[in-house]
Amino acid sequence: MSDVQLHPVKRTKVEEAVLNKYSRVFTQTVANGGAKAMLYAAGITEAQMDLPQIGISSVAFDGNPCNQHLGNLAQKIKEGCELEGLVGMQHATVGVSDGMTQGNSGMSYSLPSRDLIADSIEMIVNAQHYDGNICVPGCDKNMPGCFMAIARHNKPSIIVYGGTIQPGERHLDCPSMGFKKGDPVNIGDAFESYGAFVTGQISEAVREDVVRHACPGAGACGGMFTANTMSSVLEVLGVSLPYSASIPAIYPEKLQECLKAARYMKNLLAKDIKPLDIVTKRSFENAITVVNVISGSTNAVLHLLAMARSAGIDLTTEDFARIAAKTPVLADMKPSGKYFMEDLHRVGGIPAVLKYLLKNTDLIDGTQLTVTGKTLAENVADAPDLTLEQDVVRPLDNPIKPTGHLVILKGNLAPNSAVSKITGKEGTYFKGRAKCFDTEEAFYPALKNGEITEGTCVIIRYQGPKGGPGCPEMLGPTGAIVGAGLGHGKVALITDGRFSGASRGFIIGHVTPEAQVGGPIALVQDGDIVTVDADNRTIDVEVDEATFAARRKDWAAPPLKHKRGVLYRYARDVRGADEGAYTD
């Protein structure tokens, strides 16, 4: 077993362990009397001064179902800390609602929020000398942001996902789209309703019914969109407890998870098990494997690249290509499939998926350590088996797609790389004429006026990390295309921006180099023939080098869209999407 990775974990005896090795700088150092005085003022008792202090990093804010309940979860974690003889210290960070900022200027702040979340948690956990860290993320960028933080400060840490939302319920029949009263409805349907409405397929009453009932309460978007994809990633990486990814936000089990997190934290402190003792190249490969198996979001590529860098692990887009080539898509999850995250939880969640893969394939390395103090395989040994009666997760001999749906493309349109989400339901090959837009806003009138027809290759550019800025998601355009009846491979959409996990269709994003820095996508013109071949992993435009060279002479980089502030700083510092769009 020479290929098995060993974890350099310091196995300190519990009775000899120093659990407050960081906070004692404040509480037990005579020269820091001022710090201790302020702790007294903050309500810390004399008896608590010797206890470990745990930073509880909640990404809570009102007005967004993904995050509105996280303060309550953080409070429950604090209660658990008290039960275990730990002192929970709550603090906040920033957050952005990806769902609410789709198609408007707020989306430029979404991806930058990931790095700001990481910065702020790293800052307070280190500056306040917390002994450990329990993070409570909800919306998409929260999860990678929290992971990047714990990898940087490298103190004993657990990430408790806020949980998925449940699907809503239609209150009106919609025969034109094949739906009836009582059918489930979700946020993806709300975005797709626009295209259906402007093309006359549904009435205003049906559109309003979808919007009104798509989100019934607390929790992150309910399909295998980015939030549920990244929570699954955290569980597979070993930094969340088993079932954390799939327990819905309003289930009592989520509160129970919060209460028991402190018990596992105390064990991590005693054994000095830190994030960088847990995550390895193998654990990242496990995560990439599961993302493909569960039909996860394209954003997983961008985030995992940045997360690996924070952990000092070499990961590239070629690792995604290599793993996808041998990994089937098994879970029939929305947006392209039938089921929600709650449905996956009912059949056993991520532990059941891992157990099935461990028993029947060599795709998962079960020797990887986790925050339970046990290995991944030990964690799932008693998990329920996937049964033949369920069809949320298909058997290996009947996959949705025999190889992964996250296809890394290269060609003269994307010399570095591009990321496609090809489930097979929309085909694997597209050839069409380019229709170019330099802003997302310009796309919608063209769709409404009938300029987007079958065979059109929509290109929305200047949406990359620098050009967007912030690499905004194109859920609005993809939803409108599908809603207009132009999905299933009839129209392709290519962008140097990103896609929401709720996007579906023949979609290619993360095109690098991006338009803002002079990538070939900036030089494509209306009418150019674009070919995407997912089987051969190519993306090309039928323009010869001489024509490209002539066009380049006439091209000049537009000025950055912001002169000051967080978006200026982000556009100035950020690296390409093919490197994870990191800023540090």
Question: Which of the residues are catalytic?
Answer: 500
For residues 183 and 181, give the distance between their C-alpha atoms in angstroms, rounded to a whole number: 6
- Could you give the CA distance from residue 415 to residue 578 in angstroms, rounded to a whole number? 11
- HEC-encoded secondary structure of 93-117: CCCCCHHHHCCCHHHHHHHHHHHHH
β-bridge mates for residue 417, sequence order: 512
Measured in degrees and rounded to the nearest 5, phi and psi for residue 454 equal -55, 130
Please give the Cα distance from 273 to 299 (Å, whole number). Answer: 29
Determine the Cα–Cα distance for residues 491 and 573; give it in Å rounded to an integer. 34
Per-residue tokens: 27: 């509480």
Distance CA 99, CA 479 (A): 12
**Nearest by Cα to 58 from 144, 137, 176, 161:** 137
161: left (phi over 0), alpha (psi -120 to 50) or beta: beta
CA 457/CA 490 separation, integer angstroms? 9
CA 69 – CA 51 distance, rounded (Å): 28
Task: Give the DSSP letter string of 24-65.
Answer: HHHHS-GGGHHHHHHHHHTT--TGGGGS-EEEEEE---TT-T
Q: Round to whole Å and give the CA distance between 55 and 150.
A: 11
User: What is the dihedral sign for C-alpha 51, 57, 62, 68?
Assistant: negative
HSE-up of residue 330 (Cα within 13 Å, Cβ side): 21
Among residues 216, 243, 225, the alpha carbon closest in space to that of 139 is found at 225
Please state, in angstroms and rounded to a whole number, the distance separating the CA atoms of residues 473 and 479: 11
- E strand map for 127-236: 132-136, 157-159, 168-169, 184-185
Q: Compute the distance between CA of residue 23 and CA of residue 128 in angstroms, rounded to an integer.
A: 8
The answer to whether the CB of 440 falls within 8 A of the CB of 460 is: yes
How far CA 57 is from CA of 10, 78, 89, 133, 194, in Å, comes to 26, 11, 8, 7, 37
At a CB cut-off of 8 Å and minimum separation 6, what does 49 contact? Answer: 27, 28, 36, 39
Q: Which residue has the tokens 């997912």?
A: 534
Under 8 Å between Cβ of 97 and 187 = no
Amino acid at site 203? S
